[in-house]
């Protein structure tokens, strides 16, 4: 299953609303997770089951979608949110990641 | 607390093998599966495969024949061995824990092990 993430990068300002999309090449129900990765660090789980917020993750992060189209939204971008974001499908093996979206400061 | 601690940086020559360890603590080791993920410099994340506590494995096709994942329940440690290394194997290797239910994500990650392949 291929995951196509868009955009591959974006520039935004603190306080902006940011939306990242992830499209699967076939239906994966809601078996999708979103991760944030800062430089030199391991990925951090933000969202699983497409829309369930991981414990401890700020509520400005939200996820939606089912089937083939998914969205990660950051409602009000904060300085610590500048990072790279990846989607991951957990429907079937081999597990696959999206190509990543780098969120940079405008 | 729940954590995965990986072995340290490795530098290898082309054609050699490398073995990376991932020691789990703070939870029941036998109740979770362990996955390995690779990240080449400046690139995205790539799933390599899974090993369960019983030692059963499922490898990504790209790595079959060159990768071995094992599990040692006596020490709560999993191992990743990659053979016939080339420069394209340079990157950070992560272990990540996942429960066994459909859709369960990787919710705990190791700190990563940098492997450099260079002559």
**Residues of A with CB below 8 A from B107's CB?**
45, 48, 54
d(CA A1, CA B45): 15
Mean pLDDT for back-to-back runs of 10 residues, chain A (106 residues): 98 97 97 97 98 98 98 97 97 97 94
CA–CA distance, B107 with B119 (Å, rounded to integer): 36
Q: Sort out which chain B residues have CB atoms less than 8 A from A28's CB and list them.
A: none
pLDDT at B101: 86
Contact A86 B58 (CB under 8 A): no
- The reported pLDDT for the residue numbered B25 is 96
Q: Is B57:B78 a contact under the CB 8 Å cutoff? A: no
Number of CB pairs, chain A paired with chain B, less than 8 A apart? 55
Q: How far apart are CA A2 and CA A25, in angstroms?
A: 5
Q: Report pLDDT digits (tens) over A57-72.
A: 999 999 999 999 999 9
Residues of A with CB under 8 A from a CB of B: 29-31, 33, 35, 37, 42-45, 48-49, 54, 86, 88, 90-91, 93-100
Q: Please report the DSSP string for A51-82 in residue order.
A: TEEPTT--TTEEEEEETTEEEEEESS--GGG-
| CA–CA gap between residue B78 and residue B52 (Å, rounded) | 9
What pLDDT is stored for residue B102 in this prediction?
84
What's the Rg (C-alpha) of chain B?
14
Mean pLDDT by 10 residues, chain B (119 residues): 97 98 96 97 97 94 96 96 98 95 92 97
Give the tokens for residue B78: 């999993």
The pair phi, psi for residue B82, each rounded to 5°, is -120, 125
Q: A94–B44: do the CB atoms touch at under 8 Å? A: no
- Please give the residue of chain B at the shortest CA–CA distance from A39: B42
């Amino acid at each position: 299953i291929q995951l196509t993430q868009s955009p591959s990068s974006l520039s935004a300002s603190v306080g902006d609303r940011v939306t990242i999309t992830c499209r699967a090449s076939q239906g994966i129900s809601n078996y999708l997770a979103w991760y944030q990765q800062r430089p030199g660090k391991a990925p951090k789980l933000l969202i699983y089951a497409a829309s369930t917020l991981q414990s401890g993750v700020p509520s400005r992060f939200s996820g939606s979608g089912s089937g083939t189209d998914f969205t990660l939204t950051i409602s009000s971008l904060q300085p610590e949110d500048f990072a790279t974001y990846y989607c991951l499908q957990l429907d079937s093996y081999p597990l696959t990641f999206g190509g990543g979206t780098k969120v940079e400061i405008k | 607390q729940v954590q995965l601690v990986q072995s340290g940086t490795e530098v290898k020559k082309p054609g050699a093998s490398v073995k990376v360890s991932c020691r789990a603590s703070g939870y029941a080791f036998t109740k979770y599966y362990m996955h390995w993920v690779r990240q080449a410099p400046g690139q995205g994340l790539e799933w390599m495969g899974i090993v369960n506590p019983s030692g059963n494995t499922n490898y990504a096709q790209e790595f079959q024949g060159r990768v071995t994942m094992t599990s040692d329940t006596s020490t709560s440690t999993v191992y990743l061995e990659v053979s016939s290394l080339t420069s394209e194997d340079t990157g950070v290797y992560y272990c990540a824990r996942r429960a066994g239910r459909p859709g369960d994500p990787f919710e705990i990650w190791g700190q990563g092990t940098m492997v450099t392949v260079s002559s």
